Amino acid sequence: MANLFDNLEMPAAADFHVHLRDGPMMEAVTPTIRQGGVDTVFVMPNLVPPLTTVQAVLDYKKRLQAIEPNVNYLMSLYLHPSITPDTIREADEAGIAGVKSYPAGVTTNSSSGVVDYESFYPVFAAMEEADMVLNLHGEAPPSSPTNTDPTQQVTILNAEETFLPTLKSLHERFPKLRIILEHCTTAAAVNAVRQCGPNVAGTITAHHLFLTIDDWAGDPINFCKPVAKLPSDRVALLKAATSGDPKFFFGSDSAPHLLSAKKGLSDGGLGAGKCAAGVFTQPNVVGFVLEALEGAVQLGIAKKEDLSQEKVEGFLGGHGRKFYGVPESSANIRVKAEGVNVQNVRVGGAGNSEGGMSETVVTFRSGKPTYAVESV
């Protein structure tokens, strides 16, 4: 069991990439934000249908605040052909923090996403002027099935690296636009973020600090997009997270799905369908990140002095708060090494006390011990 951070006291963390869903799922997962040690979240707009109007985003924020008022919800619009420069100005005035771009068809609820970035240049120009953040799901879409050169195909392994020239070209064309490459999973992505100017940053999830390809092959609970890559990529993420470089900060991409969906049992037939992509970490995010950073020392990837309170606080909130221009947290948390065991989350709540596969969201590292986090 990890213990390096026993009794660490620090500002509540900020999580710059969360999926809180809607309806009963939202009601179940929103209360786990504070439980995980976080008081500021950047909320993804990929509901069904996606949040493509300012009013829809503001309505969603109210629903979230009604469940847990003690969280600072940074909201985002879903980049979509219906969004114009006027929408951006309206969003900015309404206090919306960012615009999320999903390449069409790449991950959960991305079917309404972007096919061609050039058509959005006027929108990006308006964002640059309004100083709004562009959040990129940085994966190239899968190759067309009619691609006749199978050696040139985009796979889940190279989709992120294949996207990086797009990141660089957007940054060159809109140098003052603040851009985040969400959920970096490769050494190549980390390098690309470093090579760009200070207006480009990258978020890193908790689960990608733990996982490599072997961990999700045959284990739907650990399956997400972008997929966890090679051990050398994980090393690059751990080094970035312990570097103190303000270009890297935490965004969990915590993505709740019912266990039945994670197992691909929701197709209405025999149950041989595909598994939903997404790893749910929200109830224990701070504990997971601290465990992973401590693991980096044990693996010889980082030194103990890389885990100074300043660096850990920077990765878990300070860097991101500065990038987004949101105030420091006034809430504090304390970490305890005696720990807790990771629990699953129940959706709905009626019926028997255990909850079945269609009522349960399995948390990452379910049943394993991790740091306990308490508000102080």
69 versus 150: smaller Cβ distance to a second copy: 150
216 versus 249: smaller Cβ distance to a second copy: 216
Q: What is d(CA 48, CA 334) in angstroms, rounded to the nearest whole number?
A: 37
CB of 368 to a second copy, least distance (A): 12
CB of 357 to a second copy, least distance (A): 5
Say if residues 114 and 104 touch (Cβ distance below 8 Å): yes
Helix or strand or coil: residue 38? Answer: strand
272 versus 376: smaller Cβ distance to a second copy: 272
CB of 34 to a second copy, least distance (A): 25
CB of 330 to a second copy, least distance (A): 38
Say if residues 42 and 76 touch (Cβ distance below 8 Å): yes
94 versus 213: smaller Cβ distance to a second copy: 213
Give every CB contact of residue 172 below 8 A, 6+ residues apart in sequence.
none
Distances (CA, A) of 208 to 52, 57, 129, 277: 29, 28, 33, 14
Distances (CA, A) of 156 to 58, 140, 263: 34, 9, 19
Instruction: At 86, give phi and psi (nearest 5°).
Output: -60, -40
Binding interface with a second copy (CB under 8 A): 142, 148, 150-151, 153, 155-157, 212-214, 216-221, 223, 227, 230-232, 234-235, 259, 262-265, 270-272, 274-277, 299-301, 344, 354, 357, 360, 362, 366
123 versus 228: smaller Cβ distance to a second copy: 228
CB of 220 to a second copy, least distance (A): 7
Give every CB contact of residue 265 below 8 A, 6+ residues apart in sequence.
271, 273, 357
239 versus 334: smaller Cβ distance to a second copy: 239
Distances (CA, A) of 251 to 56, 88, 209: 23, 23, 12
CB of 246 to a second copy, least distance (A): 25
